A and B are shown apart, each in its own frame.
Chain A
Amino acid sequence: MVKLRFVKALTIIVIIAMVSVIAACSGGNDKNAAESSGTPSASDSPKASESPKETSEAPEENVTVKFGNFSGAGDTAKYLTQMQEAFEKEHPNIKIEIETIAYGDYFTQMQTRVAAGQAPDAYELNYENFVSYAKKGVLLDINPFFEATQFDKSTLNQQALNAFSADGTQYGMPGSFSNVLLIYNKELFAEANAELPTNDWTWKEFDDAAAKIRALDKNTFGVFQPIQFHEFYKLVQQNDGSLLNADKTAFTVNSPENVETLQRLVDRVLKSNVMPTQAQLSGVGDWDLFKAGRLGMIVTGVWAFSDFMQNVKFEWDVAVEPGNKKKATHFFSNGLVINKDSKVAEAAFEWIKFLSSSKEAAKIRVDAGWELPAVTYPDVLEAYLKTTPPANRQAVFDSLEFLVTPPVIEQFTEMADILGIHLTAASEGAKSAQEALDDAQKELTDKIKLQ
């Protein structure tokens, strides 16, 4: 009886739904047609896009550019506002409307909005997501703007600029960039009688120093360098390995070089224990461990500088991250892109150009210690170097020589998650390094389409 009722109920749902979906679809088409002919939707604030397409070419007309971002949140919001004010002064006819969304929520919200055709005119994307968006064709090619405004590309770091092109098309400009260094606690090094890191260090010196510091006492650890995807793709390159073959058509996750790399990482946790296990960390963050003076070395990004400058009570400095067969260091960059359907694309370009490459914006960034501007103005960089600690800020630029980018493919996040799970299995000792990477190789080959 009950079952019958459910079946009946379901049938009714199906019928109603069919009818209403059909009705909604046919109704929706008309509306879409109306919208694409330039009528702004009511949910945009009236000032936002009342100007039809042609007027954006007439600079006297006032336009509003909506700008979505995640990096100008919290403490850094005021610097973004400074940039906005400087820009609006220069371009009195362009008004910038900033929408800041916390990083954790950003891509979820951006995705729904892009899917609904409600994306902001210009927005920020991190490097990994940039490729997904670019390959799905929702971004605007900005090369024509480069040509029209005769943009001087040499004002930007070439590597950073190239990062935001896909399949030969420039889809974005670098907003900022950052890299990863070896940060160390000078006092623990002195206590342990270990030699301070230099730019020539390799894995061997690195691990020796870690062992010396670990020997100091039970609660002091030598190093923290998490066993996860983002470290791993870089570390295998230090050992001349890689996750994909050269033309990105096959995974090479379980190559001997990679297994050796993972083995070393696992040994640091389980064998020599110079790095704390998850249980030993017990929820204490890696930065907190360093700040508490219980960690000799930490491999982390330049974005830690402003926090460490304020909150670290002991002497600390930085060096280029040690490599093995060669050096390899991280490159992270947040790009600025333009929505393909933006009605104010030209103004949006002016804005991202300002954020990315203008001296004013770069200066605000440097003064604030808000990552690094991707610019090449010598005087701006000079100012960055002068700020201490760390004394060896030059290492930030020395590291640029060895930048490697993540193995970006369309299913990037999925790949990172799958490999991450197998890496954790190895780091817990549940599997050997070889087994873990064999399993990862198999699962990745099954699930990830390469070209």
Chain B
Amino acid sequence: MIRSRLIKPLLFYVFASILAIFALIPFFWMVSTSLKSKGALISIPIEWIPEKVSFEGYEKIFTVFPFAQAIFNSLFISVASTMLVLASALMAAYVFAKIEFKGREIVFTVFLATMMVPGQVTMIPVFLVLKEFQLLNSFTGLLLPTVFNPFAIFMLRQFIKTIHNDFVDAAFIDGASQPNIFLRIIVPLSMPIIATLGIVTFMGSWNDYFWPLIVLSDRDLMTLPLALSSLNGQYGSEYNTLMAGSLISMLPIIILYMFAQGFFKTGLQMGGIK
């Protein structure tokens, strides 16, 4: 008994730490490189810890670039797009999970089938559609195509399906309307998956590169990945500048992710209740 009580945590920490190191080594190198001066970059053997810490890279990205503006743009777009996706996907997922109607499965399959089409296929046509609506070079044009997200709908539907019908039926008998049930029961109970999806969507939007590249052309509207990519194009060999930019662009999502941990915990507890 005592043995197994000791061994289990030990095993956990050993395995988890191995994976953690695997995940972190590159990240560690990013941090260390971003703090090197230009000269120390190509030294052999590799310096894991910079001999002399230099903030050259960080200074550079903020002086040569409208980096702050890009951070703001990315934040705005990612938040807005996450809200839009979650709202529209939750509504659709609720219908697909809890409301029976004829042809539901087919409509659902149509939704899912679109996931298989490579993005490059539809890019130019979507661009032409946006042009028709005169939405190019605007945040609206960037955001609208994200409203439909089959992946989010699928994930949410799978989760909502597991919510007991008893809850819904009971509310129905009490005379609650569909939107009421949706807002009062489904949404609160789906919080763990909403948090997970929220992160995933936020991240997707935050790191999205191809789409903003094509839709936006004003420098003032530039998002972080565009800024990073042009940084890469211009200072390709200045790894310190590049890594400083990459790190700064990662910080907001890491913080957000830590913050969302709370929701995952409630997810755990709810698993226990059910």
Binding site for B on A (CB under 8 A): 5-6, 8-10, 12-13, 24, 27-28, 31, 41-43, 73-75, 77, 99-105, 108-109, 112-113, 115-118, 284-285, 287-288, 291-292, 311
Known: A74-B231, A109-B217. 15 other contacts (CB 8 A): A8-B106, A9-B106, A9-B109, A13-B110, A27-B132, A73-B230, A74-B235, A99-B219, A100-B219, A105-B226, A105-B233, A109-B214, A118-B131, A284-B42, A285-B237
Residues B136 and A118 in contact, CB atoms below 8 Å apart = yes
Residues A74 and B219 in contact, CB atoms below 8 Å apart = no
Residues B219 and A102 in contact, CB atoms below 8 Å apart = no
Using CB atoms, name the residue of chain A closest to B234: A74
Residues A102 and B230 in contact, CB atoms below 8 Å apart = yes
Give the chain A neighbours of B166 by CB distance below 8 A: none
Nearest-CB distance from B235 to chain A (Å)? Answer: 7
Give the chain B neighbours of A27 by CB distance below 8 A: 132
| Best-buried of B106, B124, B232 by chain A (most CB within 10 Å) | B106
Could you tell me the distance between the alpha carbons of A9 and B110 in the complex, rounded to whole angstroms?
5
Nearest-CB distance from A7 to chain B (Å)? Answer: 10
Nearest-CB distance from A121 to chain B (Å)? Answer: 13
Give the chain A neighbours of B219 by CB distance below 8 A: 99-100
Residues B110 and A73 in contact, CB atoms below 8 Å apart = no
Could you tell me the distance between the alpha carbons of A58 and B171 in the complex, rounded to whole angstroms?
72
Residues B230 and A116 in contact, CB atoms below 8 Å apart = no
Give the chain B neighbours of A24 by CB distance below 8 A: 129, 132
Residues B64 and A75 in contact, CB atoms below 8 Å apart = yes
Nearest-CB distance from B93 to chain A (Å)? Answer: 18
B137 within 8 A of A: yes
Give the chain B neighbours of A10 by CB distance below 8 A: 113
Residues A43 and B237 in contact, CB atoms below 8 Å apart = no
Out of B64, B105, B229, B235, which one reaches A5, CB within 8 Å? B105
Give the chain A neighbours of B191 by CB distance below 8 A: none
B135 within 8 A of A: yes
Residues A5 and B234 in contact, CB atoms below 8 Å apart = no
7 sampled A-B residue pairs with Cβ under 8 A: A28-B132, A43-B137, A104-B229, A104-B233, A108-B214, A118-B136, A292-B42
Give the chain A neighbours of B132 by CB distance below 8 A: 24, 27-28, 31
Residues B232 and A104 in contact, CB atoms below 8 Å apart = yes
B138 within 8 A of A: yes
Residues A74 and B230 in contact, CB atoms below 8 Å apart = yes
Within 8 A of A (CB), among B216-271: 217-219, 226, 229-235, 237
Give the chain A neighbours of B231 by CB distance below 8 A: 74
Out of A5, A113, A115, A311, which one reaches B106, CB within 8 Å? A5
Residues B134 and A12 in contact, CB atoms below 8 Å apart = no
Nearest-CB distance from B118 to chain A (Å)? Answer: 16
Residues B113 and A13 in contact, CB atoms below 8 Å apart = yes
Give the chain B neighbours of A116 by CB distance below 8 A: 127-128, 131, 136
